[in-house]
Amino acid sequence: MRIAVCLTNTTKVAPWLAGLREALPGTLVEEWAPGAPQADHAIVWAPPQRFLDEQQSLKGIFNIGAGVDALLKLKLPARARVVRIDDGGMASQMAEFVCHALIRHFRELDCYEDDVRNGAWSYRRPRDRADYPVGIMGLGVLGERVARAVAHFEFPVLGWSRTPRAVPGVRGFAGQEQLDEFLRATRVLVCLLPLTRETQDILNARNLARLMPGGYVINVARGAHLVDDDLIALLDSGHLAGAALDVFRTEPLPAEHPFWRHRKITVTPHTSARTLREESIVQIAGKILAMERGEPIAGVVDPQRGY
C-alpha cells in the first residue's frame, strides 16, 4: 500500500511522515511531489488541484481537520472517499474555548479587568444564568460536546441541527422551519456548523437581529458563516453586547479589518480546536486499515450534503 502526504501551508510534514510510518509498518508513506506514483490513500491539508488531478487511484482522502469546506471546492478523483477528523482531541478543546468565552462574557470579566487596570475596586450585580440561554448551531461531533460542557455550568442550552438530535439536557430545534424559534430563545449564540451552501452567511442581520437583546456571538466554525458588516452594525446599535471570533473570511485577519479594534469584539487566531498530530495519526491509520479490510468507518463526508 502507498500513502501520499500532501500538507500545505504551515503544517510541519516530517513528524507526520514519521508518525504515519510508525503507525502503518510495511506501508510506503511519502510526501507527494508532482509526478509521484499513484497512491492508495492520501493525507491532506489544502492540497493543490494538481495533486488531485494526478492521483486518480485514491480510495481515501484523509483531511487532517474537521472542516472539509475548502477540500470540497476542488475537483476530487471519482472513486475517492473524503474522510474528516472525528474529534481526535478537538472536542474537549472546543468545549474549553467556548465555555471560557461564555463565562468571560457572563461574569463580565473584561469589565473587571478594565476596572482593576484603572485601580478601581468595583462590584457588578450578579447575573442570573437563566437569563443567558446558550444556543448552539450544529450538534455534531464538536457541538454536542460543547452543549454538554455548557449544560454542566447550568446555563439553559438549546441546539439547532439539520435533522432532529436528542442530546440530554439540550432543547433541540431542527431545520429552517425551527431556526427563528431557536434564535429568539437564544442570548449567547455559538456557531459550530460546517460551512456549506446552506450555512454560508447564516450569521447575517436577519438572523442575528432575532437573538434576545444583549445577545453575544461566539463563532468558532468558519469566517464565511458571518456577514462582518451586519455584526458590526448590530453591535454598534446596541442590540448585540459582543462577540468572540476565532475564524474569519480572510485568515490571517487583515491588519486593516475593523474586528481588530472593535471594543466589543474579541479576536483569536483560529485556535479554538487544533489538530493534535499524535491522536490524528492513530485515528487515520486505524481508518485506513479498516477501509482496506472493507469495514465501515466514521467521518466519511457526504459531498452532496457538504459535510
Could you give the residue numbers annotated as active site?
Answer: 222, 270
Q: For the window 205-244, what string marks contact with ligand NAP as x by the rule CB under 6 A?
A: ---------------xxx----------------------
- Interface with ligand NAP, residue 136, by CB under 6 A: no
DSSP 125: P
The 3-state DSSP class for residue 58 equals coil
DSSP annotation of 87 reads -
Instruction: Let me know: does 236 contact 208? Beta carbons within 8 Å.
Output: no
CB of 57 or CB of 200, closer to ligand NAP: 200
Does residue 246 touch ligand NAP according to CB under 6 A?
Answer: yes
CB of 296 to ligand NAP, least distance (A): 17
Do 29 and 6 touch, CB atoms closer than 8 A? Answer: no
Q: Roughly how many angstroms between the first and final C-alpha of the chain, as a whole number?
A: 27
Query: Given the DSSP bridges, would you call strands 41-45 and 240-245 parallel, antiparallel or unpaired?
Result: unpaired
Q: Report the residue from 19, 67, 143, 156 that binds ligand GLV according to the rule CB under 6 A.
A: 67
What the block records as the C-alpha cell of 298 is 466514521
Is the backbone peptide bond immediately before 252 cis, with ω within 30 degrees of 0? Answer: yes
C-beta closer to ligand GLV: residue 4 or 71: 71
Of 76 and 190, CB closest to ligand NAP: 190
Residue 147 touching ligand GLV (CB under 6 A): no
Q: Which of 11, 178 has the CB closer to ligand GLV?
A: 11
Given ligand NAP, ligand GLV, none, residue 195, with its beta carbon under 5 to 8 Å by kind, binds ligand NAP
What is the spatial distance between Cα 150 and Cα 193, in angstroms, rounded to a whole number? 17
Q: Which stretch binds ligand GLV (CB under 6 A): 16-24, 65-73, 141-149, 293-301?
A: 65-73
Of positions 143, 156, 215, 223, contacts ligand NAP by CB under 6 A: 143
The partner in contact with residue 198, picked from ligand GLV, ligand NAP, none with C-beta cut-offs of 5 to 8 angstroms by kind, is ligand NAP
Kindly state whether residue 143 participates in binding ligand GLV, applying the rule CB under 6 A. Answer: no
Measure the CA–CA gap between 200 and 222, rounded to whole angstroms: 9
Q: Where are the beta strands (DSSP E) in the chain?
A: 2-7, 28-31, 41-45, 60-63, 81-83, 134-137, 157-161, 170-174, 188-191, 215-219, 240-245, 265-267
Q: Read out DSSP for 266-277?
A: EE--S-SSPPPH
Q: Site residues (CB under 6 A) for ligand GLV?
A: 65-67, 275
Q: Site residues (CB under 6 A) for ligand NAP?
A: 66-67, 90, 138-143, 160-163, 165, 192-196, 198-199, 220-222, 246-247, 270, 272-273, 307
